[in-house]
């Protein structure tokens, strides 16, 4: 094979990637026959013929123009679809094509028609497959027509309803399905009327339907749960390691009903400590292939909305049989470690066990004892906390990245109206539990995976893309912080130093969120690539089988491994399917939880209409900047079009908008005051009016300027109205 053909084969195996001659020489077998200079000359020739694109003087990539690739629709806007093409490892912008009625999650074939260093543009070749076209929206009637308006802004169309609609349904929120009729045009089929827009139950059920969550259980699954005996069989005691005489506690949120982890502690004769991390043995009660198992798999995770939990398992299992309640014998799966005071592991043991928790602590109760060590459990908690500190110190020394983001809880009245907001403070009691759970997850994974005998579920976190780290570096520099990207060790060290310096401040939350967005997403998969953020070579989820199906699977795999290391319980293809499903369901649950919080925040902000609030800029886009209000905790938008003292443009690289004449700059972290102008519970949005900024003082509107963002595909120049789809 000629050098040019071998080079083309190399680039076809790495589409979307950029290489220079030295990299190709080092990465391929070409070094056995050619030198770097010969490879460079061949690359230049291929660029001249159009087979490759010369990105810079020395770097080349495959010319993908005119070639078609499979992709997944990630976002739908008024002008284009954003399509993730895995083969190219990049997003491609595709113009809207109403003919196909594409939605998020659709798999399509897209042909690349234009490409530059930052963006690729394509055209739709064909629709391959996609999820059911179900969505939530409102039934609207005007003089001539009845139509359905989806709540989701990612669906930029409104649809005529051709079937007969009951008069009482007009104005209601509904769950509907889009079908393509025999004429090839879209039609709306109303599946369920949810109620009046803005009503609490209506909006929560809308979120449940919007994200395709499964709120209940079948009669068969409930009957299976009810038929499980509450009393532990006598023979089961003899099969397990008995920890009932070892002091054991649980620490959970005040309103928790399922206690799925417990900690035991005893001092050994050699002066070391034995710490037991005991996890509810759900696998004993939920058998493979049962209806309980099938429905737990479909849900894959419990979902925590603002006013309710949608559990993965029925209440009898999650709140009673498997909940590690005090003063009851409970079946567990344990990870037990002999540790010295520095957190070094001397011995470890994994297996089925039985415990008897002596005390149930809330986080607040445990924290109070840590701050004022008195009472019978003071030494117990102080010792666990000291060991947790040692583990944490070691983890950060090894490069684990510290992300601290603020969480909030609502105080609701009898009508579920939010009447107060309370941040969830993460103190030592919370971190103590987290450190021991991380230890168990890491060591269980290492124990199974190092044998290399059976397929395993890994919780992995890939390395971030370099361009995103450069953007993060530029953003932090704009706030006065220096992020060192010279090597990975320096990056981790300086990012942790910045996070520690600003932890607990409004800027801290912004930096943490931006840093998280710069990273890859953690997922489940049967191939181990390690966990980048935690700096762990081995990591899985073992500690929450009541609420995560992945953890239940790991328990089963571990037990099979302990019984017979040669026997494979699940093959790699089965695990690949399960991992993909669990990752998808986890994202749905997370998105639904955020949507429910957003809904309540908007409802809470509605009580402050017209008032001036202080806040911090937390997001900057081509259509304005977002402000997180200090007391209300909600995020509202100051539209760019409302800033009339200058013509402002969005500078994407600098995370700011800047006035062309005045050079006023609004960027992430800036402190401002704004008036709450409007709230929209249905769209979960808040509109703000800028009053003043810490930088520039009181805002004066002055002369009105036009605004146009010139970036191709920007949402800033999209009309804020929906297209009619007939």
Is 421 found in the same domain as 529?
Answer: yes
Q: What is the DSSP letter of 33?
A: T
Residue 445: CB partners within 8 Å, gap ≥ 6? 456, 458, 459, 538, 539, 540, 542, 554
CA 167 to chain centre: 41
CA dist., res. 545 & res. 559, Å (int): 14
**For 411-422, what is the mean pLDDT?**
91
Q: In this structure, is residue 193 part of a structural domain?
A: yes
Identify the pLDDT of residue 117. Answer: 66
Is 233 found in the same domain as 193?
Answer: no
Structure token pair of residue 390? 């040692």
Which of 168-182, 202-216, 561-575 is least confident? Answer: 168-182
Residue 64 exposed, middle or buried by CB count within 10 Å (0-12, 13-18, 19+): buried
Residue 507: CB partners within 8 Å, gap ≥ 6? 479, 616, 669
Task: Return the CATH number at 156.
Answer: 2.40.50
Edge to edge, the sheet with strand 345-356 lists: 241-242, 345-356, 329-339, 273-280, 261-267, 248-252, 359-362
The 3 state secondary structure assigned to 123-141 is: EEEEEEECCCCEEEEEEEE
Q: Is residue 715 pLDDT above 50, yes or no?
A: no
pLDDT grade for 183, boundaries at 50, 70 and 90: low
Q: In this structure, is residue 604 part of a structural domain?
A: no
Q: Is residue 706 pLDDT above 50, yes or no?
A: no
Is 432 found in the same domain as 297?
Answer: yes
Query: Which phi and psi (to 5°) does residue 695 adopt?
Result: -75, -45
Task: Return the CATH number at 86.
Answer: 2.40.50.140
**For 167-190, what is the mean pLDDT?**
82
Which of 112-121, 165-174, 221-230 is least confident? Answer: 112-121
Residue 664: count of CB within 10 angstroms of its CB? 18
625-629 long-range contacts (CB < 8 A, ≥24 apart) are: 625/657, 625/666, 627/672, 627/674, 627/688, 628/506, 628/509, 628/510, 629/605, 629/674, 629/676
Yes or no: say if 353 and 392 are a contact pair by the CB < 8 Å rule: no
**For 377-393, what is the mean pLDDT?**
97
Residue 564: CB partners within 8 Å, gap ≥ 6? none
Which alpha helices (DSSP H) does 182-339 contain, by range? 200-210, 219-226, 234-238, 282-285, 291-299, 315
Q: In this structure, is residue 11 part of a structural domain?
A: yes
pLDDT grade for 709, boundaries at 50, 70 and 90: very low
| Size of the chain in residues | 726
Residue 219: count of CB within 10 angstroms of its CB? 9
The percentage of the chain sitting over the pLDDT mark of 90, rounded to a whole number, equals 58
Question: Bigger pLDDT: 538 or 126?
Answer: 538
pLDDT grade for 62, boundaries at 50, 70 and 90: confident
Given the DSSP bridges, would you call strands 309-310 and 418-424 parallel, antiparallel or unpaired? unpaired
Which of 24-38, 214-228, 406-420 is least confident? Answer: 24-38
Q: Is residue 190 pLDDT above 60, yes or no?
A: yes
Q: How far is CA 382 from CA 170, 248, 359, 370, 651, in A?
A: 61, 14, 16, 6, 50
Question: Domain range for residue 159?
Answer: 134-197
Is 455 found in the same domain as 308?
Answer: yes
Q: Is residue 422 pLDDT above 70, yes or no?
A: yes
CA dist., res. 42 & res. 40, Å (int): 5
Is 393 found in the same domain as 338?
Answer: yes
Residue 394, classed as helix, strand or coil, is: helix
Identify the pLDDT of residue 78. Answer: 67
Q: Is residue 722 pLDDT above 80, yes or no?
A: no
Which of 27-31, 256-260, 396-400 is least confident? Answer: 27-31
CA dist., res. 542 & res. 478, Å (int): 40
E-only strand ranges, 522-588: 523-525
Q: Is residue 27 pLDDT above 90, yes or no?
A: no
Q: Which of 165-174, 382-391, 403-412, 569-578 has the highest mean pLDDT?
A: 382-391
Yes or no: say if 136 and 150 are a contact pair by the CB < 8 Å rule: yes
Yes or no: say if 248 and 259 are a contact pair by the CB < 8 Å rule: no
Identify the pLDDT of residue 98. Answer: 60
H helix or E strand, kind and range, residue 172:
none
Q: In this structure, is residue 431 part of a structural domain?
A: yes
Q: In this structure, is residue 166 part of a structural domain?
A: yes
Identify the pLDDT of residue 511. Answer: 85
Identify the pLDDT of residue 596. Answer: 96
Is 243 found in the same domain as 97?
Answer: no
E-only strand ranges, 388-432: 407-412, 418-424
Identify the pLDDT of residue 712. Answer: 38
CA dist., res. 678 & res. 684, Å (int): 11
Question: Bigger pLDDT: 706 or 428?
Answer: 428
Question: Bigger pLDDT: 184 or 665?
Answer: 665
Yes or no: say if 552 and 295 are a contact pair by the CB < 8 Å rule: no
**For 424-448, what is the mean pLDDT?**
95
Q: In this structure, is residue 602 part of a structural domain?
A: no
Which of 200-204, 291-295, 667-671 is least confident? Answer: 667-671
Is 472 found in the same domain as 447?
Answer: no
Structure token pair of residue 182? 């025999």
Is 72 found in the same domain as 56?
Answer: no
Last residue of a domain, one of 129, 149, 167: 129
Residue 136: CB partners within 8 Å, gap ≥ 6? 150, 151, 152, 173, 174, 175, 176, 194, 206, 209, 210
**For 246-263, what is the mean pLDDT?**
94
Which of 13-17, 455-459, 604-608, 646-650 is least confident? Answer: 13-17
Q: How far is CA 555 from CA 356, 439, 543, 627, in A?
A: 20, 16, 9, 44
Q: In this structure, is residue 202 part of a structural domain?
A: no
Q: What is the DSSP letter of 536?
A: B
Is 270 found in the same domain as 192?
Answer: no
- Locus of tokens 């997180």: 628
Task: Return the CATH number at 10.
Answer: 1.10.10.10
Identify the pLDDT of residue 99. Answer: 62
Total domains in the fold of the chain = 6
Q: In this structure, is residue 310 part of a structural domain?
A: yes
Residue 225, classed as helix, strand or coil, is: helix
Identify the pLDDT of residue 285. Answer: 97
Q: Is residue 703 pLDDT above 60, yes or no?
A: no
Is 392 found in the same domain as 506?
Answer: no
**For 493-507, what is the mean pLDDT?**
85
Query: Which phi and psi (to 5°) does residue 47 adopt?
Result: -70, -35
CA 50 to chain centre: 40
Identify the pLDDT of residue 566. Answer: 87
Residue 445, classed as helix, strand or coil, is: helix
Residue 393, classed as helix, strand or coil, is: helix
Q: What is the DSSP letter of 318?
A: I
Identify the pLDDT of residue 249. Answer: 98
Identify the pLDDT of residue 485. Answer: 93
Q: Is residue 484 pLDDT above 80, yes or no?
A: yes
Question: Bigger pLDDT: 708 or 291?
Answer: 291
Residue 393: CB partners within 8 Å, gap ≥ 6? 343
Last residue of a domain, one of 595, 625, 659: 595
Q: How much is the mean pLDDT over the chain? A: 89
Identify the pLDDT of residue 440. Answer: 98
Is 694 found in the same domain as 624?
Answer: yes
**For 268-294, what is the mean pLDDT?**
97
For the stretch 112-164, pLDDT in tens is 888 776 788 998 888 887 766 788 999 999 888 889 998 877 676 788 887 78
Last residue of a domain, one of 31, 62, 93: 62
Is 407 found in the same domain as 391?
Answer: yes
For the stretch 459-468, pLDDT in tens is 999 999 888 8
H helix or E strand, kind and range, residue 652:
none
């Amino acid at each position: 094979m000629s050098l040019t053909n071998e080079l083309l084969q190399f680039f076809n195996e790495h589409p979307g990637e950029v290489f220079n001659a030295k990299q190709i020489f080092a990465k391929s077998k070409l070094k056995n026959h050619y030198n770097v200079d010969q490879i460079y000359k061949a690359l230049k020739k291929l660029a001249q013929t159009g087979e490759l694109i010369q990105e810079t003087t020395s770097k080349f990539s495959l010319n993908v123009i005119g070639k078609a690739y499979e992709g997944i629709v990630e976002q739908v806007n008024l002008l284009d679809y954003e399509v993730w093409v895995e083969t190219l490892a990049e997003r491609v912008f595709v113009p809207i094509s109403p003919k196909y009625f594409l939605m998020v999650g659709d798999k399509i074939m897209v042909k690349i028609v234009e490409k530059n260093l930052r963006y690729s543009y394509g055209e739709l070749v064909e629709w391959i497959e996609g999820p059911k076209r179900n969505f939530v929206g409102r039934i609207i009637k005007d003089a001539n027509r009845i139509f359905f308006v989806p709540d989701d802004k990612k669906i930029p169309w409104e649809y005529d309803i051709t079937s007969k609609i009951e008069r009482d349904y007009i104005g209601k929120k509904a769950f509907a399905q889009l079908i393509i009729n025999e004429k090839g045009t879209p039609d709306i089929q109303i599946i369920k009327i949810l109620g009046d827009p803005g009503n609490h139950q209506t909006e929560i059920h809308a979120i449940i339907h919007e994200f395709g969550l499964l709120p209940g259980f079948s009669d068969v699954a409930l009957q299976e749960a009810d038929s499980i005996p509450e009393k532990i069989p006598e023979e089961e005691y003899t099969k397990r390691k008995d920890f009932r005489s070892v002091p054991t506690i649980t620490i959970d949120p005040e309103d928790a009903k399922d206690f799925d982890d417990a900690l035991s502690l005893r001092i050994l004769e050699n002066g070391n400590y034995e710490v037991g991390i005991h996890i509810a043995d759900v696998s004993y009660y939920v058998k493979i292939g049962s209806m309980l198992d099938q429905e737990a798999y479909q849900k894959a995770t419990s979902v925590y909305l603002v006013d309710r939990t949608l559990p993965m398992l029925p209440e009898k299992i999650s709140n009673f049989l498997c909940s590690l309640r005090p003063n009851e014998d409970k079946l567990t799966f344990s990870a037990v470690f002999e540790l010295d005071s520095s957190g070094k592991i001397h011995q470890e043991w994994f297996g089925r066990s039985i415990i008897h928790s002596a005390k149930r602590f809330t986080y607040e109760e445990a924290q109070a004892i840590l701050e004022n060590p008195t009472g019978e459990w003071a030494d117990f908690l102080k010792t666990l906390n000291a060991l947790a500190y040692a583990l944490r110190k070691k983890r950060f020394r090894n490069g684990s990245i510290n992300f601290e983001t603020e969480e909030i809880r609502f105080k609701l009245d009898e009508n579920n109206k939010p009447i107060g907001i309370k941040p969830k403070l993460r103190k030592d009691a919370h971190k103590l539990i987290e450190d021991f759970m991380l230890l168990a997850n890491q060591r269980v994974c290492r124990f199974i995976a190092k044998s290399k005998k059976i397929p395993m579920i890994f919780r992995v976190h890939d390395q971030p893309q370099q361009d995103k780290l450069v953007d993060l570096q530029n953003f932090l520099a704009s706030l006065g912080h220096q992020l060192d990207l010279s090597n990975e060790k320096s990056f981790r060290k300086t990012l942790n130093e910045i996070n520690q310096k600003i932890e607990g401040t409004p800027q801290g939350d912004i930096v943490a969120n931006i840093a998280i967005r710069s990273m890859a997403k953690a997922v489940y998969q049967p191939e181990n690539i390690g966990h980048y953020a935690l700096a762990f070579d081995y990591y899985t989820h073992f500690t929450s089988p009541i609420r995560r199906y992945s953890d239940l699977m790991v328990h089963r795999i571990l037990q099979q491994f302990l019984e017979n290391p040669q026997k494979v319980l699940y093959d790699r293809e089965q695990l690949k399917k399960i991992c993909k499903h669990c990752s998808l369901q986890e994202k749905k649950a997370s998105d639904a939880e955020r949507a429910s919080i957003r809904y309540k925040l908007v409802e809470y902000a509605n009580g402050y209409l017209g008032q001036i609030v202080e806040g911090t800029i937390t997001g900057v886009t081509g259509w304005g900047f977002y402000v997180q209000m200090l007391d209300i905790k909600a995020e509202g938008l100051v539209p760019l079009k409302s800033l009339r003292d200058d013509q402002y443009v969005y500078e994407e690289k600098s995370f700011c908008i800047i006035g062309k004449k005045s050079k006023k700059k609004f960027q992430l972290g800036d402190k401002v005051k704004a008036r709450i102008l409007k709230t929209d519970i249905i769209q979960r949005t808040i509109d703000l009016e800028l009053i003043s900024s810490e930088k520039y003082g009181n805002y004066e509107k002055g002369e009105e300027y036009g605004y146009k963002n010139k970036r191709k595909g920007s949402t800033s120049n999209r009309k804020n109205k929906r297209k009619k789809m007939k």
